[in-house]
Amino acid sequence: MAHPLIPRIVTCAEPIAAELGLEVVDVVFQTNKKPPVLRIDVRNLSQDTGLEDCERFSRLLDPQLEAQEIIPGAYVLEVSSPGTDRNLTTDREFIAFRGFPVRVKTYAPYKDQKEWCGTLRERDEAAIHLNLKGKTIAIPRELVAKVQLDDQP
């Protein structure tokens, strides 16, 4: 379950990211750590995301979070790129990564499996569609726990 402060953090972070040509792709606030850790993944929209992108975003975001007093008390801000093992969650990501290898994990077995590896065809209202060696399978969305880019051959 997402932390209740995340929508306010995203509202603060997205305009800063847009100004830098970046996109906020994930926000996690880990309150079980001392001090809590706010991790934000950003992606450069025009080239590979680099350390410079993360540093520029962090330098602009940190004072805004402080000024708006969104997070009470001390916390650690971590800004990084999503990496290749990232979860796909938005419609935009499912469109952008169409044709890429993915790993789909389900909450419960579907056709006697809880993990599927194949090429992403699409996501619609009902299912995640994969190409598995020339065959198409539609995994019902209500069973899908997560969809990750798969860097394994």
Q: How far apart are the first and last CA of the chain?
A: 32
Per the model's pLDDT, the better-predicted residue between 121 and 4 turns out to be 121
Mean pLDDT, rounded, of the chain: 89
pTM above 0.85, yes or no: no
Please, what's the b/e burial string for 80-98 (b: 16 or more CB within 10 A of its CB; e: otherwise)?
ebbeeebebeeeebbeebe
pLDDT digits (tens, 9 = 90+) for 3-57: 889 999 999 999 999 999 999 988 889 888 889 999 999 988 888 888 899 999 9
pLDDT confidence band for 84 (50 / 70 / 90) = low
pLDDT confidence band for 75 (50 / 70 / 90) = very high
Q: What number is the average pLDDT over the span 61-82?
A: 91
pLDDT in the model for residue 38: 93
pLDDT of residue 151 exceeding 90, the answer is no
pLDDT digits (tens, 9 = 90+) for 88-120: 887 878 888 888 899 999 999 999 999 999 999
pLDDT in the model for residue 109: 93
Domain architecture of the chain: domains with CATH: 6-80 (3.30.300.70), 91-149 (2.30.30.100)
CB-based contact 70:38 (threshold 8 Å) = no
Helix (H) or strand (E) holding 103: strand 101-110
